[in-house]
């Protein structure tokens, strides 16, 4: 039996080792390295700058309250006052005077409505509630008329039937005449108003002893069928 050559055995080992190394290299796969870092983008949250802006009103859009017109208010007040200028014959001819025709009215409970006077029922007239306070009504005639006719009496609704209605006429500030009218009587007046500008009719409540009435709302005096002549 021949002996084994040592050099041939060493060569065989080298070949076997080389073959094993090649087999291991071909079966293994290298893990690829990432080329770049992957980043996750966060959703952008809205900021205060992105919110809707509040629109401030401009000076031109602001509505300012108008200043009150004091002169116009004064004129309107004068137009609505009780004062009525001098009466015009063209405006009063053929009709009875009304409360609106009087330049001024002073007294308690002066009213224009329907009254019962003596035997008259629902007579349209100008009435005033009287006690210790008189009622004064003034006409401005501007010397344009010659006569004033009317009737006067106590309303059937007067609280007292014992007192007297006094009707006193003033021409241009001076007393010209007066008449006392008991309850349930009517007195017709026909007053000369020639050259008269201011004519006042004053109603008073008097007792039968010619004293002031001593309690409120004693008498309701009524004037009716008032007409001016020119």
Residue 102's CB: how many other CB atoms inside 10 A? 23
Mean pLDDT of 167-176: 97
Q: Where are the domains of the chain?
A: 96-229
Q: Which residue has the higher pLDDT, 30 or 115?
A: 115
Most confident of 9-13, 40-44, 68-72, 172-176: 172-176
**71-94: average pLDDT:** 65
Q: Which residue has the tokens 């190394």?
A: 21
Interatomic CA distance for residues 151 and 183, integer angstroms: 14
State the average pLDDT over residues 61-65: 49
Backbone torsions φ then ψ of 121, nearest 5 degrees: -120, 140
Q: How far apart are CA 69 and CA 40, in angstroms?
A: 72
**Per the structure block, which two tokens stand in for 4?**
């084994």
96-229, what's its fold? Answer: Jelly Rolls (2.60.120)
pTM score: 0.64
């Amino acid at each position: 039996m021949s002996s084994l050559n040592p050099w041939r055995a060493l060569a065989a080992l080298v070949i076997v080792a080389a073959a094993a190394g090649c087999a291991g290299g071909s079966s293994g796969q290298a893990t690829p390295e990432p080329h770049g870092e992957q980043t996750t983008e966060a959703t952008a949250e809205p900021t205060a700058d992105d919110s809707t802006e509040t629109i401030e009103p401009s000076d031109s859009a602001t509505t300012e309250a108008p200043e009150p017109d004091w002169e116009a208010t004064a004129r309107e007040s004068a137009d609505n006052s009780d004062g009525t200028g001098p009466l015009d014959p063209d405006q009063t001819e053929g009709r009875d005077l009304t409360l609106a025709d009087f330049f001024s009215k002073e007294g308690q409970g002066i009213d224009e409505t329907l009254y019962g006077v003596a035997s008259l029922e629902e007579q349209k007239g100008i009435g005033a509630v009287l006690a210790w306070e008189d009622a004064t009504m003034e006409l401005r005639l501007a010397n344009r008329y010659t006569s004033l006719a009317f009737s006067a009496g106590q309303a059937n609704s007067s609280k007292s039937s014992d007192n007297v209605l006094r009707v006193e006429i003033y021409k241009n500030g001076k007393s010209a005449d007066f008449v006392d009218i008991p309850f349930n009587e009517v007195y017709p007046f026909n007053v000369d108003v020639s050259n008269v500008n201011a004519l006042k009719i004053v109603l008073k409540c008097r007792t039968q002893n010619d004293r002031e009435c001593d309690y409120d709302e004693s008498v309701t005096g009524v004037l009716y069928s008032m007409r001016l002549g020119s």
